């Protein structure tokens, strides 16, 4: 059967400092969606990478006394290594300093020139190097003689220079029509409304080249101008697919992108500029932009400039990668901000992973090992209590695909962890240990029903905690190929006669 294609991306990261929890969050979130689509039998392409041009990076290189290219090589490697540490399943890692990328950017630029959407003029206004963004005067506040963006809080500087402009203003109406026709182009809905209001309030033409520094892609046939880093960076989504070779398999299979996962700070670029560039260049815009909230430390966004960073590497060393993945996915989701702390992390590991899912697996596996020589056979028909329990579980699994396809990961996790809770309860209520001597058949049945649920829960949690769930699935002799969602169509996963392997402790309780 031919699989449907799904192209999912993370933002490409500025290699301007060490990776922090915000980066980890954005990447893991996209990874969870990518892994889910794979087990839902999609042909997935998952892209991440580094955004290496522009003044921000040039300045970071200067601070480190390195040539920008040498600096980028070094820090991009750190981000590439992070993909392994976070156990990301990305299929590609793109760097904007690669040849394949500049080729695509040149082509996009030329198309915008050909369509008459680019003209030469002079930019006079505010610019934030930290955001690589232009701001209107009504988005600026003054504090202690310095100017800051009200949107991001970053310091801005006054810029006056010759610049090429993109006719963003002429795309206002078409963008509004596009949002109207594609009502799930921006999720969550609150972000969609924000974007629509911003566009309705009027779009100004966008400066898309700079002349005051050199680190970037030159405007074709013009050595003086460097292409605006956001026009450059956004194009990575196309260059990874071999654009401008639109006959290439990757491009044919995967464009338009199914899902760009991004933080709310870069929503304007993805939801306004990006579709406008693409429409102007006669390229189909992506299907969806999902904008997640921020990881906060106390009340503030976690970021290097604010000095409130929780180091993901230290946390992974102490608690484990699956533990961090689960916590981040449960804590911050569906577009709202989430404050994280070690205390909450530990509570979450104990309540959901150690006491709930972990305990369920451990108690059932060791009971079967100790009382049934690791082998169980299902012979009886299901009882009324079994039926009631299975119905409850079915109710909880009913909307899981829908939740995930709407990026409602909170709801998804809640339902799955609830299945685990119910399975623990089912065992408590059915007390299989009391049947050891007088009704082995019934005991086998109960254990079989419970372990079938363990298999389901493990597959459903696999996109979030891949390492630990694979341990359970291996012990159940479920091979990688069988880790998929086919069981949602009422299929049982396990055979009636079952021999299980050993399972070590999955999650240590933190005291
Ligand atoms: N280089 C641009 C993206 C270009 S995409 C064509 C960029 N890079 S970044 O390194 O600053 O941020 C990468 C991602 O991390 C963004 O989605 C951003 O929202 C996210 N996060 C950075 N700090 C964050 C938090 N504190 N919390 C959650 N995510 C945040 O932007």
The response to whether residue 50 sits with its C-beta less than 6 Å from ligand 1 reads no
What is the distance between the alpha carbons of residues 293 and 132, in angstroms, rounded to a whole number? 20
Residues 339, 299 contacting (CB under 8 angstroms): yes
Contact between 24 and 312 under an 8 Å Cβ cutoff? The reply is yes
Q: Which of 17, 19, 26, 311 to mutate to test the pocket of ligand 1 (most atoms within 8 A of CB)?
A: 26
For ligand 1, whether the C-beta of 265 sits within 6 Å is yes
Ligand 1 pocket, residue 289 CB under 6 Å: no
CB 505 within 8 A of CB 359: no
Q: Is the pLDDT assigned to residue 1 strictly greater than 70? A: no
Q: pLDDT value at position 342?
A: 86
C-beta of 25 in contact with ligand 1 (< 6 A): yes
| pLDDT, tens only, 425-460 | 999 999 999 999 999 999 999 999 999 999 999 999
Q: CB of 210 closer than 6 A to ligand 1?
A: no
The angle formed by the CA atoms of residues 208, 46 and 304, to the nearest 5 degrees, is 60
> How far apart (Å, rounded) are the C-alpha atoms in residues 384 and 377?
19
CA 262 – ligand 1 centroid, Å: 7
- DSSP character at residue 470: H
How do strand 497-499 and strand 375-377 relate by DSSP bridges?
antiparallel
Separation between Cα atoms, residue 282 and residue 117, nearest integer Å: 12
235 ligand 1 Cβ < 6 A: no
Stated as kind and residue range, the H or E segment containing 442 is helix 440-461
| CB of 494 sitting under 6 A from ligand 1 | no
Residue 286 Cβ contacting ligand 1 at under 6 Å: no
294 touches ligand 1 (CB under 6 Å): yes
Residues paired with 118 in a beta bridge: 166
Q: How confident is the model at residue 333 (pLDDT cuts 50, 70, 90)?
A: low
The protein residue with its alpha carbon nearest to ligand 1, atom 7, reads 13
Coil, strand, or helix at residue 295? strand
Q: What are phi and psi of 245, to 5 degrees?
A: -75, 85
Distances (CA, A) of 452 to 131, 264, 445, 483: 49, 40, 10, 13
Q: Is the pLDDT of residue 185 over 70?
A: yes
Q: What is the pLDDT of residue 306?
A: 62
Do 333 and 25 form a contact (C-beta atoms < 8 A)? Answer: no
Tell me the two tokens of residue 495: 């055979």
Report the candidate in 273, 266, 182, 209 with the shortest Cα–Cα distance to residue 235: 273
Residue 400 neighbours by CB under 8 Å, 6+ apart: 412, 415, 416, 460, 488
- Centre of ligand 1 from the C-alpha of residue 104, in Å: 23
- 296: pLDDT confidence band, cut at 50, 70 and 90? confident
Q: Is the peptide bond before 258 cis (omega within 30 degrees of 0)?
A: no
Confidence band for 368, pLDDT divided at 50, 70 and 90: very high
- The model's pLDDT over 17-68, given as tens digits with 9 standing for 90+, comes to 788 888 999 999 999 999 999 999 999 999 999 999 999 999 999 999 999 9
233, exposed or middle or buried, with CB in 10 Å at 0-12, 13-18, 19+? Answer: buried
* Pocket flag, ligand 1, residue 295 (CB < 6 Å): yes
d(C-alpha 311, C-alpha 322), whole Å = 16
- From the CA of 34, how far away is ligand 1's center (Å)? 18
Confidence at residue 340, expressed as pLDDT on a 0 to 100 scale: 83
Rounded Cα distance between 171 and 254, Å, is: 25
Q: From residue 22, give the alpha-carbon distance in Å to each of 151, 153, 245, 301.
A: 18, 17, 34, 9
Closest by CA position to 127, among listed 57, 203, 233, 228? 228
Closest to 58 in 3D by CA, of 193, 210, 237: 210
- 434-440 long-range contacts (CB < 8 A, ≥24 apart) are 436/371
CB atoms within 10 A of CB 246: 13
Ligand 1 binding pocket includes 345 (Cβ within 6 Å): no
What whole-number distance in Å separates Cα of residue 287 and Cα of residue 278?
Answer: 12
Please give the backbone phi and psi of residue 116, each rounded to the nearest 5 degrees, phi first.
80, 20
pLDDT for position 305: 61
Q: Report the pLDDT value the prediction gives residue 268, as an integer from 0 to 100.
A: 95
- Beta-bridge mates of residue 48: 93
Q: How far is the CA of 133 from the centre of ligand 1 (A)?
A: 14
Calpha distance 466→459 (Å, rounded): 9
What is the pLDDT at residue 31?
98
Nearest to 320, CA basis, from 505, 448, 446, 105: 505
Query: Does the beta carbon of 237 sit less than 6 angstroms from any atom of ligand 1?
Result: no
- Report how far ligand 1's centroid is from the alpha carbon of 413 (Å): 24
Distance between Cα 20 and ligand 1 center (Å): 10
Q: Tell me, using a 6 A CB cutoff, whether residue 408 lines ligand 1.
A: no
Specify whether the CB–CB gap between 336 and 411 falls below 8 A.
no
Q: Indicate whether residue 454 lines ligand 1 (CB < 6 A).
A: no
> Which of 47, 263, 338 to probe ligand 1 with, by most ligand atoms within 8 A of CB?
263
CA 234 – CA 11 distance, rounded (Å): 9
């Amino acid at each position: 059967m031919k699989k449907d294609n799904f192209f999912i991306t993370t933002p490409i990261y500025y290699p301007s400092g060490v990776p922090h929890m915000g980066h980890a969050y954005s990447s893991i979130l996209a990874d969870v969606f990518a892994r889910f689509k794979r087990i839902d039998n999609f042909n997935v392409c998952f892209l991440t990478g580094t955004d290496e041009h522009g003044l921000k990076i040039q300045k970071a290189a200067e601070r480190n006394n390195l040539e920008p290219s040498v600096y980028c090589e070094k820090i991009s490697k750190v981000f590439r290594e992070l993909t392994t540490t976070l156990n990301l399943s990305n299929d590609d890692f793109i760097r904007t300093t690669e040849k394949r990328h500049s080729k695509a950017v040149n082509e996009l630029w030329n198309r915008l020139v050909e369509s008459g959407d680019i003209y030469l003029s002079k930019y006079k206004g505010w610019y934030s190097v930290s955001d690589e963004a232009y701001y209107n005067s009504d988005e600026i506040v003054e504090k202690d003689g310095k100017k800051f963006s009200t949107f991001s809080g970053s310091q801005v500087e006054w810029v006056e220079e010759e610049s090429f402009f993109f006719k963003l203003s002429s795309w206002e109406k078409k963008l509004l029509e596009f949002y109207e026709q594609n009502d799930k182009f921006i999720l969550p809905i609150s972000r969609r409304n924000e974007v629509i209001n911003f566009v309705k309030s009027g779009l100004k033409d966008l400066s898309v080249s700079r002349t005051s520094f050199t680190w970037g892609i030159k405007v074709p046939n013009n050595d003086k101008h460097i292409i605006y880093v956001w026009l450059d960076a956004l194009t990575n989504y196309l260059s990874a697919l071999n654009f401008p070779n639109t006959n290439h398999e990757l491009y044919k299979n995967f464009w338009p992108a199914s899902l760009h996962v991004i933080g709310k700070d870069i929503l304007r670029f993805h939801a306004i500029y990006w579709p406008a560039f693409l429409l102007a260049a006669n390229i189909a815009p992506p299907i969806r932009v999902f904008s997640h909230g921020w990881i906060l430390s106390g009340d503030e966004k976690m970021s290097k400039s604010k000095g409130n960073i929780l180091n993901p590497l230290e946390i992974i060393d102490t608690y484990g990668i699956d533990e961090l993945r689960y916590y981040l996915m449960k804590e911050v989701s569906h577009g709202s901000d989430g404050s994280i702390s070690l205390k909450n992390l530990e509570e979450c590991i104990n309540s959901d992973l150690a006491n709930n899912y972990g305990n369920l697996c451990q108690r059932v596996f060791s009971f079967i090992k100790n009382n049934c020589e690791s082998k169980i056979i299902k012979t009886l028909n299901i009882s009324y209590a079994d039926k009631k329990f299975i119905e409850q579980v079915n109710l909880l699994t009913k909307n899981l695909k829908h939740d995930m396809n709407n990026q409602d990961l909170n709801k998804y996790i809640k339902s799955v962890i609830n299945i685990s809770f119910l399975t623990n309860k089912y065992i408590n209520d059915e007390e299989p240990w009391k049947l050891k001597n007088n009704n082995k058949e019934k005991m086998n049945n109960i254990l079989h029903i419970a372990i079938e649920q363990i298999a389901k829960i493990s597959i459903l949690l696999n996109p979030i905690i891949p390492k630990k769930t694979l341990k359970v699935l291996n012990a159940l002799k479920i091979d990688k190929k069988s880790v998929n969602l086919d069981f949602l169509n009422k299929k049982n996963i396990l055979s009636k006669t079952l021999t299980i392997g050993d399972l070590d402790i999955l999650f240590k309780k933190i005291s």
